[in-house]
Amino acid sequence: MPAAPSANVNNNDFDPAIPTALPLFGKATVTGKIPVRLRAEGDTLVAYGYGRQRIVFSAGDVSRIQVRILRNSQNGEDMGSYLLVRGKSNSKSKSTEILLWARGAWGPGLAEICAQLGLPKPEVATTRPFTETLAPTVGRPYPLLRTHPRNWIPLLLAGILGVLVMVGLGIFAGVGLALLLPPAIGDVRDLIAIILAAAGVLGGVWVAFATRSMSIGAVRWAVASRRAGGPAPVGPFLSLDVPSHVISTVTTVLLALAIPFLLIWGPAVAITSAVHGFRDAALVSDLRTSGSATVGYVVNVPSYSTDSQGNTTVTPHAYLQFIPEGRSAVSEPDPAIGGQTWPMGTGQLVTIYYDPADPVKAAVEGQITGSVWHGAPTGNVISGALAIAIEPALIWLFYRRVTAKRRKAARDFAEGLA
């Protein structure tokens, strides 16, 4: 069957009087044109692609237009779609020749094209299994419509890199804000850091797409200004066009990650903080009722560890050093009552309370003053309980988002083929 390439792309300009079909997820060039389309121009079917590609078929040589939806044979998930233009049946093989193959789903307009050319209505079929219908390559005998620019892979990689950079900056900013909070609030600060980091992910994605939109808008404004011979209006070009489905998808992914994380983090923090709180309360009660007072120091006793590359890490540890009455000197780790040890290495004497029967049970006077539940322990227990409590709401929200997305995708695809 004839396939006539041509360098003439003047007919690629939009004309509402000519039946036209566009890809359902068509991509526009930086200058704003959408080069990929099918058109019924008189008694010919014309396909336009990137790189000034133009392929022409006579309506008499075309048998039908098909849209194939590829599905995975195991789980039934959509694996993509493509469009086929088939020629008349071969009398010897009783098969139809493939005149053109195009990637992607196609939107409205195919029915109008078929009506204009006197062809049957476009066929929509599901191909199973997916492995039996592999995507044809450029080397096949029939033309492959170029639905992407030649350099689209480097551009895609550059775009992904830009998004990752913005996401990284967003995470860095969120964690940095959380680190400004006092460490005395305990694991709550870690939870706040994670929440702000998740917000940073959303913010980074938004900024990345907003920057892309503004950059493309600036280029299109410059092109329009050059064509007009003067500055074009800025409003139609410089707008923040952030794809809502991208933000929605990222939000759904973050929800999916938050559900198992909080399911583990909540009980772990609540139980650990409660156990430590009761342990600290028992120690404080013993030292208050039967402890003896003396003076001593809180010093730094570092520990050293070496990794596989020979790098040494120094970890400081607070130790109490004092001499109990009638006993030899004691050097024991300072208990982290309420999640905090006493400031070490100041060189000042501090009052230390210890158990006369077991001097290793000791703490600085300031550590046994007030409630051990003040600050981090109570905050950790409350935040852990809240993390457990909001799990049902997160699961319900995630379920609603996923099912709503599937219903919308199916509805949009069906409407596009109607």
Q: Select from 28, 19, 29 the least CA-distant residue to 65.
A: 19
pLDDT for the residue numbered 217: 82
pLDDT digit of tens for each residue in the chain (418 aa)? 444 444 444 445 667 788 998 888 767 776 667 788 899 998 899 999 888 889 999 988 888 888 887 765 555 555 678 888 888 765 554 456 788 888 888 888 899 999 999 999 888 877 654 444 444 444 456 678 888 887 778 888 888 999 999 999 999 999 999 889 887 777 788 888 889 999 999 999 999 988 888 888 888 888 888 878 888 888 777 777 788 878 888 898 999 999 999 888 888 888 888 888 888 889 999 999 889 999 999 999 888 888 888 888 888 899 999 999 888 899 989 988 877 888 887 778 999 999 998 898 999 988 888 777 777 777 788 888 888 888 999 999 988 888 876 666 666 555 545 5
- Per the CB < 8 A criterion, the answer to whether 184 and 375 are in contact is yes
Provide the 3-class DSSP secondary structure of residue 76: coil
Q: Scanning the structure block, which residue is given the tokens 């109490």?
A: 320
Give the side-chain half-sphere CA count within 13 A for 350: 23
Instruction: Give the per-residue pLDDT at 207.
Output: 92
Domains along the chain with CATH numbers: 4-149 (2.30.29), 152-265+394-416 (no CATH), 271-306+313-372 (no CATH)
Q: Are 107 and 21 in contact (CB under 8 A)?
A: yes
Backbone phi, then psi, for 337, in 5-degree steps? Answer: -70, 125
Is the separation of the CB atoms in 165 and 132 below 8 Å? no
**Residue-level pLDDT at 129:** 45
Sequence-ordered alpha helix ranges (H) in 180-243: 187-228
Predicted pLDDT at 137: 43
Q: Can you tell me the distance from the alpha carbon of 138 to that of 133, in angstroms, rounded to the nearest whole number? A: 16
What does the alpha-carbon distance between residue 405 and residue 395 come to, in Å, rounded to a whole number?
15
Q: Is 292 exposed, middle or buried (0-12, 13-18, 19+ CB in 10 A)?
A: middle
Spatial distance between the Cα atoms of 245 and 78, rounded to a whole number of angstroms: 18
Measuring CA to CA, how many Å separate 143 from each of 3, 267, 290, 401? Answer: 8, 60, 92, 40
**According to the model, what pLDDT value does residue 182 have?**
82
Tokens of 103: 């990637």
Per-residue pLDDT, 30: 67
**Six-digit token string for 379:** 């905050």
